[in-house]
Structure formats: structure tokens, C-alpha cells
Amino acid sequence: MTRSTRIVCTRWGVSLGLILLLEAACRSGVVPTLAVLPPSEMFAAMLELLSTEEVLANVAATFSTVAVAFLAAVLIGFAAGVALHGLPRFRRAIDPLLASYYSVPIFVFYPLLVALFGLSALPLIAIGFLAALPAMLIATLLGLDRVPPVLRRVARMHRLGSARTAALVILPAALPNLFQGIKLSLAYAFIGVIAGEFILSGGGLGYAIAYAYESFDNRTMYGLMLFVLLSAVISNTLLSTWESRLQRRRWRA
């Protein structure tokens, strides 16, 4: 067994062990079942919930909001990153803002967004977008920064125009960072949308969880929570796998 398979196996083992431990702790009453549901029941609750129309509607609402926010953030974040990279002085000036961005809880802007966009899906999309945008922008800047200058000179030696230089040299060279940005953007869009729903809005999975908590419906709460967490972990893992598949040969040193 190679070291990396051992690592993966151990990771699965540890995860499974933690789940079993929680199961045992709940079943034996060390953790009160009133506070935490045993994982097996969480899972059963999740499956039950996912067969109800109401929950599926919530899932669809949340996922589509996240998807729109994510796509907009990736496209606009990339474009803004490229533009900002070309304007070094402006970039230096707004650098402190970028660096402090994630220290401000963005959904405090929710009322403002509602006033701007009305009570629709747009304010939530905007929150997801605002949460994800800087991740993509910063990743794009970093990616462009890290393109080795000598590669640009190679492009000039091959007498490539600026479009072909961008497509054939700059973009592939910046790709690892761009991918990182895409991954983070998805995670942040999801975090932003769920948090917005949870605290402020009247719909979607986040709201359903908050509502279940307030009506002491632990089964629903834990079922939905498990679903949200699994969705985040699975989508993140899928992207990571795809990323390492793309990068594997490339960076195998």
C-alpha cells in the first residue's frame, strides 16, 4: 500500500470512527438525544425529507440561487481581476479594502439589497455573489502575478499577438490559481446564501433549518443540516478531485 492510499484510508477510517463515536455517545446518553440526534437518525431524516415536495422546492430554490451567484462571481471576478491587474496603481490603492473584505459580515447589507432589488431572489443572489466575488478576483490577481515573466517573453519570441498570448500562455499558466478561485467561490457563494437565508430571508434551506430550530423540530433540523453539509463537502471534494486530475501530471515533481 502506498503512503497516499494509506492516508486516504486513514482519513475515511477517522471520519467513520468519529461518526460511530457520535452514534455511540448519543445512544448511550452521554450526549443528550434532545440536543444531538444520532448520525443514523440524521441520515434517515435526511432521506425522508428529501422525498417531500416542500423540501425539494427549498433545495431547488437554494441551489439555483447559489448557482447564479457563483457563476456571476466567477465571470465578473475574473474580468475584474484581469482589469485590476492592468491597473497597478488602482490595485495598490484598493488593496487594503480587499484584504479586509472578509472581516465584514456582508449580509449586514441585506436590508440595503432588499431596498435596491425588492423582495425577490435577487438580494440573496447578491449576497452569495458578494461573498464569492473577492475570492475569484484575488485568485485571478494572484494567478496573473505568478505567470513567470519568461513565459511572456517566449510568447513574444513566437511573435504571438496579445489574444493568442492570453489564450495559449497566460491563461494556462494562471490556471491553477484560477481553479482555486473557482473552488473557493462556490464554497463562499454557498456559505453566503445559506447564511442569508438562515438569518434574514423567509425561504430556502437555510431558513428551513432556522425555522425547524425555532419550532423544536430537531429531526427536520438535523436532516436538513446534514444535507447542506454533505452538499458542501461533496461539491468541494468533486472540484478538488477534478482539479488534482488536471494538475496531477503537470506538477508531479
Q: Does 206 bind other proteins (CB under 8 A)?
A: yes
Question: Which positions from 150 through 179 interact with other proteins, judged by CB under 8 A?
Answer: 150-151, 153-154, 156-160, 164, 168-169, 172-173, 175
Question: Which positions from 217 through 236 interact with other proteins, judged by CB under 8 A?
Answer: 218, 221, 224-225, 228-229, 232-233, 236
Q: Which of residues 27 and 156 has its CB atom nearest to other proteins in the complex?
A: 156
Least distance in Å: CB of 145 to other proteins?
16
Q: How far is CA 188 from the centre of its chain?
A: 4
Position among 129, 190, 207, 220 found at the interface with other proteins (CB under 8 A) = 190
Residue type, 18: L
SS (H, E, C) 78-96: HHHHHHHHCCHHHHHHHHH
State the residue for C-alpha cell 440524521.
Answer: 42
Contact 188, 96 (CB under 8 A): no
Least distance in Å: CB of 49 to other proteins?
14
Half-sphere exposure of 63 (CA within 13 A, CB side): 11
Give the gyration radius of the chain's Cα atoms.
22
Q: Does 237 bind other proteins (CB under 8 A)?
A: yes
Number of residues interacting with other proteins: please give it, by CB under 8 A. Answer: 77
Half-sphere exposure of 81 (CA within 13 A, CB side): 25
Q: Does 87 bind other proteins (CB under 8 A)?
A: no
Q: Does 245 bind other proteins (CB under 8 A)?
A: no
Least distance in Å: CB of 48 to other proteins?
18
Q: Does 99 bind other proteins (CB under 8 A)?
A: yes
Contact 51, 229 (CB under 8 A): no
203 Ramachandran zone, left/alpha/beta (phi>0; psi -120 to 50)? beta
Position among 2, 29, 53, 89 found at the interface with other proteins (CB under 8 A) = 89
Q: Does 252 bind other proteins (CB under 8 A)?
A: yes
